[in-house]
Amino acid sequence: MLDALMDSAYIKSLPFLWDGLKVTVGITAVGLFFGIIIGAIAGLGKLSKSRIIRAIWTVYVEVVRGTPILAQALFLYFGISEDLIGLNLDSFTAGVIAIAVNAGAYIAEIVRGAVYSIDKGQHEAGRSLGLSQKQTMRYIIWPQAFKRMIPPLGNQFVISLKDTSVFSVIAVHDLVYKAKQYYNITFEVFETLVMVCLLYLCITIPTALYLRRLERKLDV
């Protein structure tokens, strides 16, 4: 029974798919790291008193959220030429940038919503303590807002992880790309795609369960 399982097409595909899974997780992790930075800046920018700053970040958010990530990845990989920026983007870098830019737009709304959700009395309390507006944001508002951002940021990780599946079109050697390579050689399409789905679920389900537990713990 065990020998039959180990010799099955499902298990045999795992070593090949594992390499793709590492690339998928790598792109997601690095892309989200920069996406959080971009999103924090954009979210706070949309809260700025300056109309120009608000307009700039609003345009960024609306353009990115209004276009599919596949089109963004294609634009980064094929549309931006060496003549335009002075260098060629490899597929992995293009994928990371696409995740960072795309996730950043959604994280901006998470940041903006979290900051807005803090009672205005907290702002007034900071000012009454003699803190400047920036100090009030840094020491009073941001810590409370960040606590409320954690669950939706976890959800964004799951979304971005699944978004990487489209990067096979720009030759990123992610999980889906490696799966296509494998079943083109073995013709074991069904078995390979079943394992692809299971590998995604092995990451997304534990993440979702952890987020639910964290949300209850944080009481947000």
Position 88 pLDDT exceeds 80: no
pLDDT, residue 118, reads: 82
The residues spanned by each domain of the chain are 2-218
pLDDT, residue 34, reads: 97
pLDDT, residue 64, reads: 96
Position 5 pLDDT exceeds 70: no
Which of 139, 111, 140 is closest to 42 using CA atoms? Answer: 111
Position 164 pLDDT exceeds 80: yes
Position 87 pLDDT exceeds 90: no
Question: Which tens digit of pLDDT belongs to each residue from 12-27?
Answer: 889 889 999 999 999 9
Mean of pLDDT values over 148-164: 91
**DSSP codes, 3-17:** HHHHTSHHHHTHHHH
Do 181 and 6 form a contact (C-beta atoms < 8 A)? no
Do 8 and 187 form a contact (C-beta atoms < 8 A)? no
Question: Which tens digit of pLDDT belongs to each residue from 54-67?
Answer: 999 999 999 999 99
Which of 60, 13, 34 is closest to 160 using CA atoms? Answer: 34
Mean of pLDDT values over 89-117: 93
Spelled out in words, what is the top-level CATH class assigned to the domain 2-218?
Answer: mainly alpha
Predicted confidence band at 82 (pLDDT cuts at 50, 70, 90)? low
Mean of pLDDT values over 78-97: 79
pLDDT, residue 3, reads: 54
